[in-house]
Amino acid sequence: MSDRTHRALRPSVWGVIAVAVAVLPVRAADPSFELDVLPILSKAGCNGGGCHGAIAGKGGFRLSLFGYDPPSDYRSIARDARGRRVDLADPGTSLLLTKPTMALAHKGGKRLDVDGDDYRTLAAWIGAGCPGPRADERKLVGIELGPAESVAAPGQTVMLTVTAGFSDGSTRDVTRWARFTSADETVATVDPAGHVGFVGHGAGAVTAWYSSRIAVARVIAPFPHAVSPADYASAPRANLIDDLNLAQLQQLHLKPSPPCDEPTFLRRAFLDTIGRLPNPEEVRGYLADRSPGKKERLVDLLLARPEFIDYWAYKWSDVLLVTGSKLRPEAVNAYAGWIRDRVAENTPWDRFVREIVTARGSSIEHGATNFYAVHQDPETVAENVAQAFLSLSINCAKCHNHPLEKWTNDQYYAFANLFSRVRAKGWGGAVVAGDGKRTLFVETKGELLQPKTGKAQPPAPLDAPPLPMDEPADRRTALARWLTAPDNPSFTRAIVNRVWANFFGLGLVEPVDDLRSTNPASNEPLLAALAAFTIERGYDLKALMRLILLSETYARSSAPLPENIDDRRWFARAYPKRLMAEVLADAIADVTGVGDRYTEVVLDDGSTQPVQGYEEGTRALELRDSTVKSYFLRTFGRNTRAITCECERSSQPSLVQVLHLSNGSTLNDKLASKEGRVTQILATEPPAERLVEDAWLLALSRKPTDSERKPFEEMLAQALPEEKRAVVEDMYWSLLTSREFLFRH
């Protein structure tokens, strides 16, 4: 443009509207469509989902969401509608400028200032003849957001800078065109210019987005607590978890709570590791043991218990969607049995996943193949592999570049094309019609077409080089190697975060299965260290669980201190959590001495049919199928296994739950049962002291306090023989409906 200038501010008539054309400086090079024009449109929100980036566009003008498809956007702007959106002879009259400046009516409101640099850049691009994307142009390779970590007090402000790096080694300050969001606006907010305003205490993150690239910076506002350095130096430490947790607590000025008492730790460890309560003999034995290393012996015992297999096989069945709504009974049994066998063998997690991803053969003889029966098209398989094993949701990239992540539409179809040759025969069609028996195999040819281009996208794992299109080998083998490789950070972080959340009630990343780069961990150094530990131990999940169980961080009291009462996600104390539905059902059965009967499954249309294989006394954690009928489990939010998402399980309290515990059959019928524990206890005529103590040990894993014990002992002493049962039933009812019983604390 060195020999080209534009007309100075003069009236130009287009129709009946006068438009001012700004003076444009002489430029050494014409503006780039991809590097200059698209970032302006993205910053202004023109290609957002609520504007022209919507599937149908707006006002007949459609752009790709957030500019994920530059060639298509170029055609829409410069070529479609006979190029009426740009006027090369008189740039200021172009719809691309008159609409967002409100020179012409625009439903999207004012998006550009006529005297702004962005306006001048767009006008210069039009005046240069609207040059399109060029193959030889430098490419954006990444962005950096600085400062990477900011520490400030509420009321203070920090300015962020976004620097783009390009394929030719050059850099550019692109702060003005970046979009910013705050992960936790109770800690800090960020304005469109990148000014971070600290508004509350805690640790959060700010995200910058520029041309489908994302960068994250940490923001920290320490709490106003006067905690002595000696409190952190003297805090008990057992392993790396404590060192890294205490380092963060000191940075945030949060005081760690003291260790919980022994009965609380015992109950917590039992529930979190094997999903059941310790019995009175186990409680008395642990409390009486004064020998060194008893905690280590307890943890090793729990990890070796058969109930460990039940509990963790059930947990992984949630993730892998073992359900009769998608599989026939024989397939359900084979799938659940395969998972259970791998847990029993303590199969390393990377091998566990490789066997699933590369499974082939009979759905009955090779249970892992049912993963492909649950997910039958390449796109769904790809989405669920990413969600289950990487905790990444790529679903949004099916139609356009992911609006919250770096995944592109091309990457989505490249990933899905890895499964395009997976086939199955047998089964007979629909779930209800088929017998569940099918054989999974892999063809040597076959591609998934990318709808945008009508051509196959070269198959490739996420962020990995593509595989040869004409290679006949099973593409899933290469996928499995990439997926479970130690240098694939999402794979290890995903399983570490799931295991951590089980024991702490809260993930280092929340939601647990959402490891977006825009959703950083509450303690990144700790998550990284645990991932490194897991890799070093060969993905032995029991080793990871043992490390967690023996940490002092896990053993902290849930009682808040004044100096950590505001802690929400930094583990200065333990967080009480309601028992998951299946664990709660089993706990009630253990305390009352009356098991549950599971005799029917619920079909998709709401009807029921008998189910075989569950004897009387089967525990809820032994159920293989999520469609087994149980009003209690449904009421208390069990995972329906409809989709791969932790959101499928609910721990939210409800009035229905309260009424069910108060007046429903689950408690009242079991307490009144002639075969139940109350009947058995009264038959032995125990002294009142023992009867009360056993009730507390059974339900709460601790002995009653004097204030708890004396009223019931007095009532039992004064009760007539025919009244004694009612007193005992009421005592157990009061325990089983207490928050202390319903929650792990």
Give the pLDDT means over successive 10-residue stretches in the chain (745 positions): 34 35 47 91 83 80 80 88 84 91 89 91 92 88 94 96 95 93 94 96 93 89 96 97 98 98 98 98 96 97 98 97 92 96 98 97 95 92 96 82 70 94 73 70 93 89 91 95 94 98 96 89 96 98 98 97 95 97 97 93 84 88 94 93 86 88 89 94 92 97 96 92 93 96 96
* Separation between Cα atoms, residue 229 and residue 85, nearest integer Å: 64
> Do 24 and 123 have their domain in common?
yes
> Do 354 and 464 have their domain in common?
yes
Structure tokens at 629: 């009928």
* Separation between Cα atoms, residue 235 and residue 257, nearest integer Å: 9
The DSSP line for 247-314 is HHHHHHT-PPPPBPPHHHHHHHHHHHHHSSPPPHHHHHHHHH--STTHHHHHHHHHHHSHHHHHHHHH
Structure tokens at 476: 């899933």
Residue 542: per-residue pLDDT: 98
* Separation between Cα atoms, residue 358 and residue 479, nearest integer Å: 9
| Bridge pairing between strands 361-362 and 438-442 | antiparallel
> Do 349 and 456 have their domain in common?
yes
> Do 406 and 474 have their domain in common?
yes
- State the alpha helices, DSSP H only, in 321-470: 329-344, 349-357, 371-374, 378-390, 409-416
At position 407, the amino acid (one-letter code) is: W
Residue 666: per-residue pLDDT: 87
Q: Is the Cβ–Cβ distance between 428 and 435 less than 8 Å? A: yes
Neighbours of 542 (CB within 10 A): 17
Q: Which strands sit side by side in the sheet containing 157-159, from one edge to the other? A: 157-159, 195-198, 188-190
- Provide CB contacts within 8 A for 164, sequence distance 6+: 140, 142, 143, 171, 172, 173, 174, 210, 211, 213
Domain containing residue 176: 140-221
> Do 476 and 365 have their domain in common?
yes
Structure tokens at 686: 């125990």
> H or E element: which one contains 13?
strand 11-14
> Do 449 and 347 have their domain in common?
yes
Residue 471 domain flag: yes
SS3 content of the chain, % helix, strand, coil (to 5): 45, 10, 45
Structure tokens at 91: 């740039």
Q: Is the Cβ–Cβ distance between 201 and 224 less than 8 Å? A: yes
| Helices and strands in the chain: count of H runs, count of E runs | 28, 21
Structure tokens at 312: 């963790």
Residue 15: per-residue pLDDT: 36
* Separation between Cα atoms, residue 373 and residue 327, nearest integer Å: 7
Structure tokens at 464: 């990995």
* Separation between Cα atoms, residue 125 and residue 91, nearest integer Å: 9
> Do 68 and 217 have their domain in common?
no
- Provide CB contacts within 8 A for 670, sequence distance 6+: 588, 589, 592, 593, 594, 676
- State the alpha helices, DSSP H only, in 104-235: 117-127, 229-233
> Do 147 and 122 have their domain in common?
no
* Separation between Cα atoms, residue 247 and residue 557, nearest integer Å: 19
Q: Which strands sit side by side in the sheet containing 161-166, from one edge to the other? A: 140-146, 161-166, 171-173
Task: Count CA atoms closer than 13 A to 7's CA, side-chain side.
Answer: 13
**What is the domain count for the chain?**
3
Q: Mark which of 483, 508, 531 sits at the end of a domain.
A: 483
Q: Model pTM greater than 0.75?
A: yes
Q: Mark which of 221, 241, 268 sits at the end of a domain.
A: 221
Residue 683 domain flag: no
> Do 112 and 144 have their domain in common?
no
Q: Is the Cβ–Cβ distance between 194 and 175 less than 8 Å? A: yes
Q: Is the Cβ–Cβ distance between 200 and 186 less than 8 Å? A: yes
Residue 439 domain flag: yes
Structure tokens at 1: 């443009």
> H or E element: which one contains 486?
none
* Separation between Cα atoms, residue 691 and residue 188, nearest integer Å: 55
Residue 120 domain flag: yes
Q: Mark which of 455, 483, 511 sits at the end of a domain.
A: 483
Residue 536 domain flag: no
Residue 367: per-residue pLDDT: 96
* Separation between Cα atoms, residue 394 and residue 407, nearest integer Å: 7
> Do 312 and 453 have their domain in common?
yes
Q: Is the Cβ–Cβ distance between 276 and 282 less than 8 Å? A: no
The total number of residues written for the chain in this structure: 745
Residue 12: per-residue pLDDT: 34
> Do 336 and 445 have their domain in common?
yes
Residue 367 domain flag: yes
* Separation between Cα atoms, residue 474 and residue 466, nearest integer Å: 14
Q: Which of 490, 552, 561 is nearest to 519 (CA)?
A: 490
Residue 387, burial from CB neighbour count under 10 angstroms (0-12, 13-18, 19+): buried
What secondary structure letter does DSSP report for 444?
Answer: S
Ranges assigned E (strand) in 123-199 = 140-146, 149-151, 157-159, 161-166, 171-173, 179-182, 188-190, 195-198
Instruction: Report CA Rg, the chain.
Output: 31
Q: Which of 32, 25, 2, 65 is nearest to 170 (CA)?
A: 32
Residue 670, burial from CB neighbour count under 10 angstroms (0-12, 13-18, 19+): buried
Structure tokens at 382: 């790809």
Residue 726 domain flag: no
The DSSP line for 59-103 is TTB---GGGS-HHHHHIIIIIGGGGTT--SS-GGG-HHHHTTTTS
Q: Which of 437, 444, 448 is nearest to 410 (CA)?
A: 448
Residue 337 domain flag: yes
> Do 63 and 149 have their domain in common?
no
Residue 2: per-residue pLDDT: 35
Residues 146, 148, 154, 156, CA torsion sign: negative
